[in-house]
Amino acid sequence: MTPGSMFQNSRLLFANKASKIVSLVFIFILFMQAFLFSQAKPGVMAKAVQDASKEITIHHEVNFTVSPQKLYQALLSSKEFSASTKKSFPVFTESSAIIDPKAGGTFSLFDGHIIGRILELVPNQRIVEAWRVVDWPAGVYSIARFELTPKGSGTHLVFDHIGFPAGLKKHLSDGWQEHYWDALNKYFK
């Protein structure tokens, strides 16, 4: 055995020992994490996740005096949505909404301020959209879900909006109330 080959063998031996040590430390960390999480009181993690989700979720429940069919149509019709917007906000044009009312269709609302794509439609019951404000960072979309159920001669809307950028909850929630629910109720009168 030459001194050079002994040096190479010791480097390999050292490399194997170092990789074993790193592997053992990594495994130790994984086991410690699992142990620590298992020691948490039941429901603590679920409550933490639930509390955090309140900051990134908008939930509204709104009653309308029109049928689910009429509300569904107004939310998906370029003409009707533009008319409801124009009635409450004269600053918007007569064609402020451009909506392709099919799953996969795109939409542009409030003269291009809001854009997105329709992800799911269940006629007269549900609309799910990938929804964004145009000045959000590129590629950032939230999910807006409209669930319509009959209530007497009207409609009960359950609305959830998730996945929007941090710090916008109040602004967006107020916007949904003013630009959607109040404007649509005014339009239907």
Q: Using an 8 Å Cβ cutoff, are 74 and 168 in contact?
A: no
3-state DSSP call for residue 35?
helix
The per-residue pLDDT string of the chain (189 residues; one tens digit each, 9 = 90 and over) reads: 555 555 555 554 445 555 555 454 444 444 444 444 444 445 543 443 344 445 689 999 999 999 999 999 999 999 999 999 999 999 999 999 999 999 999 999 999 999 999 999 999 999 999 999 999 999 999 999 999 999 999 999 999 999 999 999 999 999 999 999 999 999 999
Domain 58-188 carries which CATH code? 3.30.530.20
H or E segment and range at residue 42? none
Return the structure tokens found at 16: 């194997």
> CA dist 187 to 31, 56, 82, 124, Å?
60, 30, 10, 19
Q: What is the pLDDT of residue 43?
A: 54
Q: Which of 79, 83, 96 is nearest to 188 (CA)?
A: 83
Q: Using an 8 Å Cβ cutoff, are 81 and 94 in contact?
A: no
Return the structure tokens found at 126: 């549900």
Q: What is the pLDDT of residue 4?
A: 56
What is the Cα–Cα distance from 173 to 158, expressed in whole angstroms?
Answer: 14
Ordered by start, the domain boundaries in the chain are: 3-39, 58-188
DSSP H helices in 40-168: 44-55, 68-76, 78-88
Q: Which of 185, 189, 72 is nearest to 124 (CA)?
A: 72
Across the chain, where does the E strand assignment appear?
A: 57-64, 98-99, 106-109, 114-122, 126-133, 142-151, 154-162
3-state DSSP call for residue 167?
coil
